[in-house]
Homo-oligomer: A and B are copies of this chain.
């Protein structure tokens, strides 16, 4: 299909009666070329249907203009808008700067993740933005010679740039709101503890409780796998300890929670209040519409991309750490 022979800069040069250097400079605008010559070159490129070989360019110039974003984006059951919105944010700034975004999926599993980092290899990308699957892994030995910006989560002892959400403050705020409405038995449900985000959210929860003089009960704290099923089952156990409210910090698990309430005909918020995380859209039309914590996903991506571009520009500049504010959206489930 189309032209099977590959036209190179050399062919263009010959066809336009100029040197390859001139063609290259016309393409890149990297030194003066007379209008006349420019025209000839463009003509030739058109005639031959020339298309630049990015691989060759990148090999030679040691610059690919490609940034990779590695996160758990594809995970099958999980419907992760969050990272998709982040990706959209990243892309919006990369595009303006003529960078290209490559999305890479970690499956939220260390092994997949390491695999992907290796595949990214060296020279293929100019930078990596990643949401690590665990804070306990040592990633440094996997990375190539490009800058890395951590997003949403940070591994222990990292001294890389990072852009995260202030999970603790907003979680505390959510729990305080619940307490303000008179709740004393507030359950906490979340995904695995290997994530910094989980840790911060539980910290906010505990702090709100302790400041209100409410003693935390381990029976009311449930940490498990991220899936609708697991959300459902964990809710079942949690309910045996008679919470009057439940704070679930993952949107997929939240589906499990709501599914349970619906099935058992437990009315929300009359019998139990629910506060969830993420998923701004669908939770508007659940029954009742859910009170949720809305993370600044797009902005997170924008910031991370900006930090990355600055880092590429200036490898020696001081480490940046940004902590964006999330938003408690009170609807009818609490």
Give the interface of A toward B (CB within 8 A).
Answer: 1-4, 6, 51-56, 58-59, 64, 73-77, 79-81, 84-85, 87-88, 91, 100-103, 105, 118-119, 121-124, 140-141, 143-145, 147-148, 228, 252, 255, 258-259, 262, 279, 281-282, 284-287, 289, 298
Contact = CB atoms under 8 A, between A and B. Distances in A.
A119 B100 contact: yes
Contacts of A77: 281
Contacts of A53: 59, 121-123
A126 to B, nearest CB: 12
Contacts of A1: 140, 143, 145, 147-148
Given A121-B53, A145-B1, A87 B74 contact: yes
B102 A103 contact: yes
Contacts of A148: 1
B81 A124 contact: no
A319 to B, nearest CB: 11
Given A281-B255, A282-B255, A145 B6 contact: yes
A320 to B, nearest CB: 15
A258 B100 CA distance: 37
Contacts of A147: 1
